[in-house]
Amino acid sequence: MASKPSKPKPFTYICILFLIVLLFFITSTLRELHNEFQKGVTNYPGLVNNPKWFEFIEQEKRDESINIGLVNFDGMTIMDEIRTKVKMVMVDFNPVEEDKVHWSNLFPAWIDENSPSNCPELPMPKFEDYQELDVVVAGVPCDQDGGFRNVFRLQVNLVVANLLVRSGRKEKGVDKPVFVEFIGSCGPMWEIFTCDDLLWHGENSWVYKPELRRIKQKVLMPVGSCQLVPPFAQSGEICGFDLSISFIHTCI
């Protein structure tokens, strides 16, 4: 006669139930610890490794929120580097057509005073779409063949300068300081962003706190030497800031 299968003992049920409860408890504890760690990272940015240039700006801004405008830069790349919560916006503009607009068009060797001035236009963003910026981060294009006389590089620098004076944060109608970070081996155009405003410099990285009044004067001036001043100025005088001799400059 075949023996009947033995029934599980109550002790076996108790062990299984205990293991299930223990597994649930361990899972819940680990999830809670993970959430606490993430909260600690948010509250204490020093626990994470931000880029050095951003750490410098963060010290200047202290506990204030930070709005960043990105010019000619991959936003996802920047977001991957910065571990602190910030608000970022991509600044949209049409790159200049370098096959149609050349450096010599902006800075001709000579100007016919008897012919009307004809300066090419460098497209700009819709500045009203970008407001309350605290930082502008720009990827500086660098044409190794053309050196520093790069029309797109000039356009990027002018976009940044205009963002500073038109899209910066204001408090009670007063302009607050806006920081600029240039990234790229060619660096910024020193004719626009001077050594006096440079706060920090690392490898292929420049942090500025520009004097807004001086930048406003710059963006009001015509670009290049392709345009003559109005008739009431001296005959033959060229209007605009001179970028015709662009060179590598080092702030000491």
Tokens of residue 55, six digits: 């750490």
- What domain range is 34 assigned to? 11-43
pLDDT at 46: 42
Tokens of residue 110, six digits: 């000579």
Q: What is the dihedral of CA 206, 212, 213, 217, to 10 degrees?
A: 70
The reply to whether 3 falls in a domain is no
pLDDT tens for 161-172 read 999 999 888 887
The reply to whether 81 falls in a domain is yes
More confident residue, 159 or 227: 159
pLDDT tens for 206-218 read 999 999 999 998 8
CB half-sphere exposure, 245, CA atoms < 13 A: 1
The reply to whether 96 falls in a domain is yes
pLDDT at 229: 53
Statement to judge: residues 66 and 171 lie in one domain: yes
pTM: 0.70
Rounded-to-integer distance, Cα 144 and Cα 30, Å: 52
Q: What average pLDDT does the chain have?
A: 77
Give counts: helices (H), strands (E), the chain: 6, 8
Percent of the chain predicted with pLDDT > 70: 71
Of 124, 142, 147, 224, the C-alpha closest to 187 is 142
The reply to whether 245 falls in a domain is no
Statement to judge: residues 88 and 24 lie in one domain: no
Statement to judge: residues 16 and 106 lie in one domain: no
